[in-house]
């Protein structure tokens, strides 16, 4: 079984986001970038399926600038067998990514495609769902457990109020939730080996996809500074402050 994993290069989750002075976008100058955490979980799950003998090949794919190859090399160091880089310097929105990934699925014919449930930069949470709609494949979003049985995939999903178990017919698209697994760290020898693993570069034109966005980014603002809280000495003082200072009760 071939598994395709989509990984996105995003700002490292530890970095405090800065907005450009002209508010046109987030400032990426000298900012540490990393693989989106939900994509790390996707790679880990694919590699575990390979280690269990369920998957035969793990292919990592990304859409982004040349620098996004770093994240593909990370995926290769974590255990992916080869990588596909769809190179573009344009800002690509979810629909364009989904259209490109559909072309990759048409060419590669993976039995399972794993994406993160959301990218932590734009928080869109829509690429996997769009990809399932475009390909017509079954989808299990927010997976916290995956079990492959022949041509079926049981997906346990985290939903409000509990867990839902779905049975999908393969080929299928899955998006990962936080509790699916705990990703491993890449070991130095594996980082070295990853440099020699195959990485193929294509352009959106090679795949016949127009990535022009129908969405314009107008302005980016930093959230308003939050004021520090206070401790009150008694319920009476709390009620007084809610009435007379916050004016949220009368
Ligand atoms: P989003 O819908 O943007 O929140 O992203 C959800 C998931 O879609 C990510 O975790 C990735 O698995 C995949 N994805 C989004 N953008 C890209 C990209 N540029 N390249 C590869 N995968 C992507």
The residue ranges of every structural domain in the chain are 2-225
Q: What is the pLDDT of residue 101?
A: 98
Query: E strands within the chain?
Result: 2-6, 9-11, 33-35, 57-64, 82-87, 112-116, 138-149, 152-159, 162-169, 172-176, 199-202
Ligand 1 lined by 9 (C-beta under 6 Å): no
Ligand 1 lined by 126 (C-beta under 6 Å): yes
Closest CA to 181 of 32, 40, 26: 40
Closest CA to 48 of 147, 142, 116: 147
Ligand 1 lined by 62 (C-beta under 6 Å): yes
DSSP one-letter code for 184: P
The values of phi and psi at residue 209, to 5°, are -115, 130
Q: Is the separation of the CB atoms in 106 and 74 below 8 Å?
A: no
What order of strands is seen across the sheet that includes strand 152-159?
Answer: 162-169, 152-159, 138-149, 172-176, 112-116, 2-6, 57-64, 82-87, 199-202
Q: What is the pLDDT of residue 228?
A: 87
Residue 59, strand partner residues: 4, 82
Tell how far the Cα of 16 is from the centroid of ligand 1, in angstroms: 21
Q: Which segments in the chain show pLDDT lower than 50?
A: none
Ligand 1 lined by 36 (C-beta under 6 Å): yes
DSSP one-letter code for 22: T
Cα–Cα distance measured from residue 60 to residue 104, given in angstroms and rounded to the nearest whole number: 11
Residue 64 CA: nearest ligand 1 atom is 19
Q: What is the pLDDT of residue 205?
A: 97
Tell how far the Cα of 241 is from the centroid of ligand 1, in angstroms: 46
Hey, whose CA ends up nearest to atom 23 of ligand 1?
8
Ligand 1 lined by 118 (C-beta under 6 Å): yes
Tell how far the Cα of 225 is from the centroid of ligand 1, in angstroms: 29
Global pTM value: 0.91
Q: What is the pLDDT of residue 227?
A: 85
> pLDDT digit string (tens) for 90-105?
999 999 999 999 999 9
Chosen CATH of 2-225 out of 3.40.50.1000, 3.40.50.620, 3.90.1150.10, 3.30.450.20? 3.40.50.620
Peptide bond before 21: cis, by omega within 30 degrees of 0?
no
Hey, whose CA ends up nearest to atom 14 of ligand 1?
8
Residue 61 CA: nearest ligand 1 atom is 21
Joined tokens for residue 180 = 């699916």
* SS3 (DSSP) at 177: coil
Q: What is the pLDDT of residue 223?
A: 86
Q: Is the separation of the CB atoms in 220 and 26 below 8 Å?
A: yes
Query: Number of helices (H) and strands (E), helices first, in the chain?
Result: 6, 11
Joined tokens for residue 216 = 């314009």
CA distance to 12, 117, 190, per residue, from 144 (Å): 23, 11, 27
Hey, whose CA ends up nearest to atom 9 of ligand 1?
116
Ligand 1 pocket, mutate which of 85, 127, 207 (most atoms under 8 A from CB): 127
To the nearest whole percent, how much of the chain has pLDDT over 90?
Answer: 92
Ligand 1 pocket, mutate which of 67, 98, 115 (most atoms under 8 A from CB): 115
Q: What is the pLDDT of residue 150?
A: 87
């Amino acid at each position: 079984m071939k598994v395709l994993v989509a990984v996105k290069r995003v700002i490292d989750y530890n970095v405090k986001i800065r907005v450009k002075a002209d508010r046109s976008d987030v400032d990426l100058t000298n900012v540490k970038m990393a693989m989106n955490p939900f994509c790390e979980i996707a790679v880990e799950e694919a590699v575990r399926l390979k280690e269990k003998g369920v998957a035969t090949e793990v292919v990592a794919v990304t859409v982004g600038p040349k620098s996004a190859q770093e994240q593909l090399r990370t995926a290769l160091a974590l255990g992916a067998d080869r990588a596909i880089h769809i190179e573009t310097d344009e800002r690509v929105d979810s629909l364009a990514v989904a259209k490109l990934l559909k072309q990759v699925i048409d060419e590669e014919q993976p039995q399972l495609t794993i994406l993160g449930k959301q990218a932590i930069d734009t928080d869109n949470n829509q690429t996997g769902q769009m990809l399932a709609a475009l390909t017509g494949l079954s989808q299990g979003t927010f997976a916290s457990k995956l079990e492959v049985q022949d041509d079926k995939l049981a997906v346990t999903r985290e939903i409000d109020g509990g867990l839902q178990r779905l049975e999908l017919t393969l080929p299928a698209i899955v998006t990962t939730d936080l509790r699916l697994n705990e990703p491993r760290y890449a070991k130095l020898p594996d980082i070295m080996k990853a440099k020699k693993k195959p990485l193929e570069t294509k352009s959106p034109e090679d795949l016949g996809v127009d990535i022009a966005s129908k969405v314009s980014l107008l302005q980016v603002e930093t959230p308003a500074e939050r004021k520090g809280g206070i401790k009150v000495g008694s319920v009476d003082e709390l009620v007084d402050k809610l009435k007379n200072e916050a004016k949220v009760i009368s």
